[in-house]
Structure 1
Amino acid sequence: MNKAVSVYLVSAIAGVSMLGDSLHVANAAQNDAHNPNEATLVSFSDQDTNNLKKHEDNALADPSAEQDSSAAASASLQALLSNMKQFRAGFAQTVVDAQQNVVHEAQGTLTMTRPNKLRWETTFPDETLLVADGEAVWNVDTFVEQVTVLSQANAIKDNPIVLLTSTDEATWSSFSINKTKHASAAGNTISDSEERYQISPKEAGGQIVALTLTFNQENELTSLDMLDAQQQVSTLVFNNIETRFPVPADTFSVEIPDSFIIDDQR
């Protein structure tokens, strides 16, 4: 599994989380350090660059208008997500580089509740489990029989995916939000019946550069795209979406076998 993407998601989406991916990021970074020739580079498309330049020009020409537009988009997105107190769906994940080469694919199930809880399970190509319980992120690797534990607050810092489950106004104020009809970072177009929001941290330096959320005419979250600092684009497309369902008590807890090693990094 692309753990960097997963942790982003939880730690985001954990952000994500959803929608994955952030232990994943740490492992990817380590792999790149050991295999510099295999590091994947991705860049914004010309359209993405032009869109960002347009926003910058608009802000310089009329900063108040740009702020008003972002505030309106933020209020609209908060209204959509406030009605999504629960979310469960299957997902298909694809990670591509700048040349649209597929570098990772995964399938699984994502479950989220507001505020701040997420469960990410993959069934392909491997069985993995990532749980954010509101305080910590638990990454269970059954293959090596190890559980890595991270502080959720640290894992999701500056990650726009946190907005999927956060209700904190201070957190929301840390991001710029724009409603757009343009293609997402993955190049996906949008239909007239869909709404798309692009979210980016106001401060540079985070693992996620931009997050794009797409909603259908039933106001359901149908996909998300994440452009990360390593310049990869991760796309999650959801299916069998549910927003009302019973939540078992153990959904956001992890049972660790005695034989597993626990790496607690909190």
Structure 2
Amino acid sequence: MNKAVSVYFVSALATMSFAANATLELDSNLKEFGTYYDADTVGKELADDTNASMNNSQSPNVTTDTDDSSSSALQALLSEMKQFRASFAQTVVDGQQNVVHEAQGTLTMTRPNKLRWETTFPDETLLIADGEAVWNVDTFVEQVTILSQDNAIKDNPIVLLTSTDEATWSKFTIDQMSSVSAVNSDDNGSVLQSFQITPKEEGGQIVTLTLTFNEDNALASLNMLDAQQQISTLVFNNIETRFPVPADTFSVEIPDSFIIDDQR
């Protein structure tokens, strides 16, 4: 995981390092991910939606709802997501739309407040939020960085993915959108539910987070705009919401040879 990405994770709910948007270069090997999304189209439309919202404008096929019903609707969807496990393809682009990072891996979450982010490409990395601490394991340099989870998730909208705390939800403004954002091999597009989350307090690392749910009300993609104008997009596939959780899913075994940087 590149440095910026892991910092986001730690700055999210385990700083879910979702930096966010892009032109996912899904080659033929990624077509095995179930429903095939046209990566260039998904990335461009997510970026356009994000930029349009930042400029207080809307595209013709996007509607927004900014009252309390948006928060209630998102909470209802996430309440059904007590567990979530999926493979992901991630692309991070800078303000000039240059790709600065790509990754593939798996994400596992359980509510409340536990997360496991594991990459298999381009490097094998592991990040775990166990409810109290965030453990960032970098096998390449043989180092583990440990952060307080409470400090790591401050003002980061990703916390809402696993948080059930009303005080936490009250720190964010939520806008509900409906837009045609997915293209697959069978039709010209599907109307998805999207929610843009914005911290009420300015000055944080994350400017906006957009969650998009598919027609089965499953989290299909995540889009994040950061303070450096980098956009990161995660597209999820092989989604599971009911599965056994091994006891060691959110625990970390640290080899004796690893350096430990405990910042709690």
Structure 1 runs of 4+ aligned residues shifted over 6 Å read none
Structure 2: state its 5+ residue gaps: 20-46, 58-63, 184-188
Contact kept in structure 1, 2:111 and 2:162, CA below 8 Å:
yes
What CA distance in whole angstroms lies between the structure 1 residues aligned with 2:120 and 2:147? 23
1:242 to 225, 228, 240: 240
1:78 to 52, 75, 86: 75
Higher normalized helix content (fraction of residues): 1
1:161 aligns with 2:144: no
Structure 1 equivalent of residue 193 of structure 2: 195
Structure 1 equivalent of residue 6 of structure 2: 6
Which AA in structure 2 matches 1:206?
G
Matches within 5 A, 1:19-30: 20=18
Q: Which deviates further from its counterpart, 73-82 or 7-16? A: 7-16
Normalization by structure 2: what TM-score?
0.79
Deviation at residue 258 of structure 1 after TM alignment: 1.1
Matches within 5 A, 1:54-69: 54=56, 69=66
Q: How many percent identity over aligned positions?
A: 75
Deviation at residue 131 of structure 1 after TM alignment: 0.4
Deviation at residue 6 of structure 1 after TM alignment: 3.2
Which AA in structure 2 matches 1:227?
L
Structure 2 equivalent of residue 263 of structure 1: 261
Matches within 5 A, 1:11-50: 11-14=11-14, 16=16, 20=18, 48=50
Structure 2 equivalent of residue 134 of structure 1: 131
Structure 2 equivalent of residue 106 of structure 1: 103
1:254 to 245, 252, 255: 252
What CA distance in whole angstroms lies between the structure 2 residues aligned with 1:150 and 1:251? 18
Structure 2 equivalent of residue 181 of structure 1: 178
Higher relative contact order (CA 8 A, sep 6+): 2
What CA distance in whole angstroms lies between the structure 2 residues aligned with 1:13 and 1:122? 17
What CA distance in whole angstroms lies between the structure 2 residues aligned with 1:87 and 1:123? 18
What CA distance in whole angstroms lies between the structure 2 residues aligned with 1:246 and 1:168? 25
1:229 to 227, 230, 237: 227
Which AA in structure 1 matches 2:173?
S
Structure 1 equivalent of residue 53 of structure 2: 51
Deviations 1:16-75 (A, max 9, x none): 35xx36xxxxxxxxxxxxxxxxxxxxxxx78755534548xxxxxxxxxx9x83311000
Query: How much is the aligned-residue C-alpha RMSD, in angstroms?
Result: 2.3
What CA distance in whole angstroms lies between the structure 1 residues aligned with 2:83 and 2:7? 20
What secondary structure is seen at the aligned counterpart in 1 of 2:81?
coil
Deviation at residue 77 of structure 1 after TM alignment: 0.1
Deviation at residue 143 of structure 1 after TM alignment: 1.4
Deviation at residue 144 of structure 1 after TM alignment: 1.4
Structure 1: state its 5+ residue gaps: 22-44, 56-65
What CA distance in whole angstroms lies between the structure 2 residues aligned with 1:239 and 1:195? 17
Contact kept in structure 2, 1:16 and 1:164, CA below 8 Å:
no
What CA distance in whole angstroms lies between the structure 2 residues aligned with 1:213 and 1:94? 16
> Closer, same or farther in 2 for the Cα pair 1:179/1:142, shift >3 Å?
same
What CA distance in whole angstroms lies between the structure 2 residues aligned with 1:70 and 1:83? 22
Contact kept in structure 1, 2:179 and 2:193, CA below 8 Å:
no
Normalization by structure 1: what TM-score?
0.79
Deviation at residue 141 of structure 1 after TM alignment: 1.0
What CA distance in whole angstroms lies between the structure 2 residues aligned with 1:2 and 1:247? 28
Contact kept in structure 1, 2:179 and 2:191, CA below 8 Å:
no
